[in-house]
Amino acid sequence: MDKHYGWVIVAAGAVITCVAMGAMFALPVYLQPMAEDTGWTRAGISGAMTIGFIVMGVAGFGWGALSDRIGARPVVLMAAVLLGAGLVLASTATELWVFQVAYGAMVGASGGAFFAPIISATLSWFDKNRSLAVSLVSVGGGVAPMVITPFASLLIEMNGWRSAMLTIAIGALVIIIPASLLIRRAPIFTEAAAPPAQAAAPKERKPSGALAALRTPQFIVLAAVFFLCCAAHSGPIFHTVSYAMICGASALAAASIYSVEGLAGLFGRLLFGVLADRFGVRRVIVGGLVLQAVGIYVYIYVTQLTEFYMLAAVLGLAYGGVMPLYSVLARDYFSPRVMGTVLGGMVMTSSIGMAFGPVGGGWLYDTFGTYHWLYIASAAIGLAAAALALAFPPPKKDVDGPTPELQPA
């Protein structure tokens, strides 16, 4: 049974990431009703997401390193409690700074625990179909806009934004905590520790191995591409609802654009995962980054809801398909024993990139009175990511020592 249990990890990870990321990234649909209800500026409310991205990145590094030591399950459990507490506090906030601390700091910190530890645990269970397995876990992130965002919008229309946020907080706890109990360490960690003589050497090298991994050209280029990729699409993703409403779409229709992106991202994850297993991860990443940059630029020509839907399908396919593959490429470079630390470092750099989008897009709109410059700048950053991806070094496996053989999953 053990050799097939990896697929249980995949299913649990998909559910957890769907609920957790959906709860965190639903903030755009709260933006307008919150501004109208509280009088807070859009920049101030959006600032909570910027804070969240930064905190998520820093915390993600810590969560990832901690999961290397104690495993993914306790990390996800702690983060679930923090997510629920942050959303509950944010839903009752009467001051902007309280909301920014609750949503930005607490929810953001929890968000860093749902990528590196779960993906690290998934990677350790597979030596075949690795790209597909990771892509399926990330399907949760693609499904989230299809489920959580419209659900939050519906709750807001029925009961207001405070009640909606509280309801989602409770639902997240009810779903994530039981799902996290299914996460287990792969046999590699217990089998490798069996012979005392063999276990001694890796234990002595583990700290230096993790630190050495973060100094390699492989990690530096990988993290830099991830940073630019997220910096490119975060602004367009966050401001698309507002842009569509400016173009005449209703609030619910504008929010449904996320659902289209999520559905396309679902197919993108599956398609890109299969393509990466067949043609190589690096080639597929470069192609996806180019497609993402072109799609972002086309936004300046979009004004009708149907056009928003069509472009959302292209962008969802592109960035939804590319995002999981960075962790697969990382596994080609590094040992499972340092994977939590490596992925945590990647989360930190990518989250900093994500942080520029919401506040940068808001500043460009406030300065020029249009979102066009946001899409032009984001497309340029996306092309830079594709160009840098061409410089991916050849794999340098097992920085932390040789990897024991895994059972096929």
> Residue 210 has what pLDDT?
66
Per residue in 142-190, pLDDT tens? 677 678 888 888 899 888 999 999 999 999 999 999 999 998 877 754 4
Per DSSP, the chain holds a count of helices (H) and strands (E) of 18, 0
In a domain, 11, yes or no: yes
Which whole-number Å values give the CA distances from 167 to 48, 160, 177, 394, in the listed order? Answer: 20, 11, 16, 47
In a domain, 383, yes or no: yes
Give the span between the Cα atoms of 93 and 146, in whole angstroms. Answer: 27
In a domain, 253, yes or no: yes
Question: Smallest Cα–Cα separation from 318: which of 257, 381, 255, 382?
Answer: 382
In a domain, 402, yes or no: no
> Residue 199 has what pLDDT?
42
Which comes out higher in pLDDT, residue 204 or 122?
A: 122
For residue 3, give both structure tokens.
């050799």
For residue 231, give both structure tokens.
């910096």
The answer, as to whether pTM is greater than 0.75, is no
Instruction: Give yes or no for residue 288 having a pLDDT over 90.
Output: yes
Total residues belonging to the chain: 409
Task: Give how many domains the chain has, as a whole number.
Answer: 1
**Residue 153 lies in domain:** 2-185+206-389
Give the span between the Cα atoms of 80 and 195, in whole angstroms. Answer: 36
> Residue 252 has what pLDDT?
75
| 121-125, 201-205, 263-267: least confidently modelled range | 201-205
Which comes out higher in pLDDT, residue 337 or 2?
A: 337
In a domain, 345, yes or no: yes
Give the list of residues 6+ apart from residue 36 with CB closer than 8 angstroms, or none.
Answer: none
Per residue in 374-385, pLDDT tens? 999 999 999 999
In a domain, 195, yes or no: no
Per residue in 67-107, pLDDT tens? 888 888 999 999 999 999 999 999 999 999 999 999 989 99
Q: What average pLDDT does range 15-38 have in this prediction?
A: 87
In a domain, 296, yes or no: yes
Name the DSSP letter for residue 297. H
